Amino acid sequence: MEPIARPALTEIVQNATHEVFRTMLGMDLAAQPDFVEKFPPPPAEGVVSLIGLAGRWVGTGCVFCSGPFACRISSQMLMTPVTAVGEEVLDVIAELTNMIIGNVKTGLEDSLGPMGLSIPTVVYGKNFTTRSTGEGEFTVYPFSLDGESFEVKICLAPSRKPNLPVRPGFPHSGALQG
Amino acid sequence: MPANILIVDDSAAIRKILQRVLRQAELPLGQIYEAGDGIQALEIMQANNVSLVLSDINMPNMDGLQLLAQIKANPQWQSVQVVMITTEGNQARVMEAVGLGAAGYVRKPFTSDQIKEKLLTLS
């Protein structure tokens, strides 16, 4: 099966992200040029949320934003002021990731066949970085709004394992480094 | 008779949003119950009279399709309507839900109008 062309993946990721932000949050993000992340990003402060993708292609979908922007997103979604990152914010960012990567998965399935999605894992911290332990590199899709940055990252590679039926809820292959 | 509704989603944020949408929908509502997965949902259904279930698919412990199958397999719950509200857009998964007896399907992200319209088609 042929890999999906990068411009097509860019369109899928940007459309999914715009749709989720407009529909659930009434926010219009500005898409910035995407790029391939050759090395793990430098240690950062913020909220990162990871979801595994599995099928004939496997990988990880990830979103990253600062703590204050995560609070702003949460306030907008819950229609109540949220001023600090806590369980409520982590839950909102996990669900936002689920919606974005879930819609990316649906867009990918036309080209890559049926895929399963794991339950999201979300982390808030300082001085951490992320990398995939699988093959392939992350492509980063940056967005901005009022000086804040929101990143969606996708890492996909052909599966080496035989094709098994995919079901939701499997563990993902993302890893965190302190 | 007001409908008792069960919201099943592992995201507390989505449960909160759906609660708000239901309360603003001006429909005859009874109790609104919440569950974080299919197992909790079945426990609530055994203890309460629920007539409508709004359920996510991708959840830990017991997913929405397993929950739907359990509801439809129980003769006491034959009249319970189940609407799936999920990011899952895979056509095979949608057909699986319909085949198991789902009364409707709403994709995330959703607007409150989409939820209201779906509920009105059921009432």
> Over the stretch A106-140, which tens digit does the pLDDT of each residue have?
999 988 988 999 999 999 988 877 776 666 789 99
Cα(A23)–Cα(B42) distance, integer angstroms: 31
Most confident of A35-49, A90-104, B24-38: A90-104
For the cut 90, the answer to whether the pLDDT of residue B122 exceeds it is: no
Instruction: Give the pLDDT score at B94.
Output: 85
**A166: chain B residues, CB-CB within 8 Å:** none
ipTM: 0.88
Instruction: Give the pLDDT score at A19.
Output: 97
**A91: chain B residues, CB-CB within 8 Å:** 11-13
CA distance A12 to chain B (A): 14
Instruction: Give the pLDDT score at A23.
Output: 95
Instruction: Give the pLDDT score at B53.
Output: 97
Chain segment A49-95, per-residue pLDDT in tens: 999 999 999 999 999 999 999 999 999 999 999 999 999 999 999 99
For the cut 60, the answer to whether the pLDDT of residue A171 exceeds it is: no
Pick from B18, B90, B96, B114 the residue to mutate for testing the A interface (most A CBs within 10 Å): B90
CA distance B37 to chain A (A): 12
For the cut 90, the answer to whether the pLDDT of residue A144 exceeds it is: yes
Nearest to A168 by CA among B81, B84, B71: B84
Q: Is A102 on the interface with B (CB under 8 A)?
A: yes
> Residue B12 — very low, low, confident or very high, per pLDDT cuts 50/70/90?
very high
> Residue A42 — very low, low, confident or very high, per pLDDT cuts 50/70/90?
confident
Pick from A71, A99, A108 the residue to mutate for testing the B interface (most B CBs within 10 Å): A99
The string of DSSP codes covering B6-60 is EEE-S-HHHHHHHHHHHHHTT--EEEEEEESSHHHHHHHHHHS---EEEE-SS-S
Query: Which residue would you say has higher pLDDT here, B25 or A27?
Result: A27
CA distance B108 to chain A (A): 6
Residue type at B40 in one-letter notation: Q
> Residue A178 — very low, low, confident or very high, per pLDDT cuts 50/70/90?
very low
- Dihedral class, residue A116 (left if φ above 0, else alpha if ψ from -120 to 50, else beta): beta
What is the percent of chain A with per-residue pLDDT over 70, rounded to a whole number? Answer: 87
Instruction: Give the pLDDT score at B111.
Output: 92
For the cut 80, the answer to whether the pLDDT of residue B114 exceeds it is: yes
Is the bond into B109 cis (omega within 30 degrees of 0)? yes
* Rounded to 5°, angle at Cα B113 from A90 and B1: 100
For the cut 60, the answer to whether the pLDDT of residue A170 exceeds it is: no
